[in-house]
Amino acid sequence: EAQVTQNPRYLITVTGKKLTVTCSQNMNHEYMSWYRQDPGLGLRQIYYSMNVEVTDKGDVPEGYKVSRKEKRNFPLILESPSPNQTSLYFCASSLSPGPYNEQFFGPGTRLTVL
Amino acid sequence: SQQGEEDPQALSIQEGENATMNCSYKTSINNLQWYRQNSGRGLVHLILIRSNEREKHSGRLRVTLDTSKKSSSLLITASRAADTASYFCATALYNNAGNMLTFGGGTRLMVKP
């Protein structure tokens, strides 16, 4: 089944403890991206990747890192999480190297930073 | 800042009625996409309209795009209780600054049976 998977789905952590949220797609998509969703603010793009080893900042990249060593994986890294990073995170992918086609979204990761 | 702004923020209708949601944006776009999100879940793509298109249909969905007014509308005809969800527009930009997809704040639609 064609899908985007994220892990973990739920995570409660403490300030400063490094964490990684994994994202994987099995559709051979070029474009992958991370969003955070907060009440009243909609979805905001954190980072995106046009292809392997090509990543760029989105609207709200501060406090996050990403890597794209393989086409299928696009992990989101929080080196030193803070409470303002408590949010619902979505990974998405699309076929073309840009947001010109439909995005396929993962199920979301609900992160709480205490 | 948000590129797309949906209007209204919330909409409550009876089953069988039509639901219209509007989206306004600020800059030139490559395409505009509409997504649906059931509570707390991932977004599902509904329809994509390119900047050189004016209207598009998919089942009970009708999307219009007016690039001169920088606005789009999503019409859901003969609504069903299962259409209850949040609906987001997203604009895709293609320029030297990058290739981003920017979402609006969404419209929460409730369809009462």
pLDDT tens-place string over residues B20-74:
999 999 888 889 999 999 987 889 999 999 999 999 999 999 999 999 999 999 9
Q: Using an 8 Å Cβ cutoff, are A70 and A51 in contact?
A: no
**Residue B99 confidence (pLDDT) above 70:** no
pLDDT digits (tens, 9 = 90+) for B22-35: 999 988 888 999 99
Which residues, in sequence order, are CB contacts of B63 under 8 Å at separation 6+? Answer: B32, B34, B47, B49, B55, B56, B57, B72, B73, B74, B75
pLDDT at B97 over 70: no
Torsion sign, CA atoms B13, B18, B24, B28: positive
pLDDT in tens, A56-97: 998 899 999 999 999 999 999 999 999 999 999 999 998 876
List residues of chain B with CB under 8 Å from any CB of chain A.
2, 30-31, 33, 35, 40-45, 48, 88, 90, 92-94, 98-106
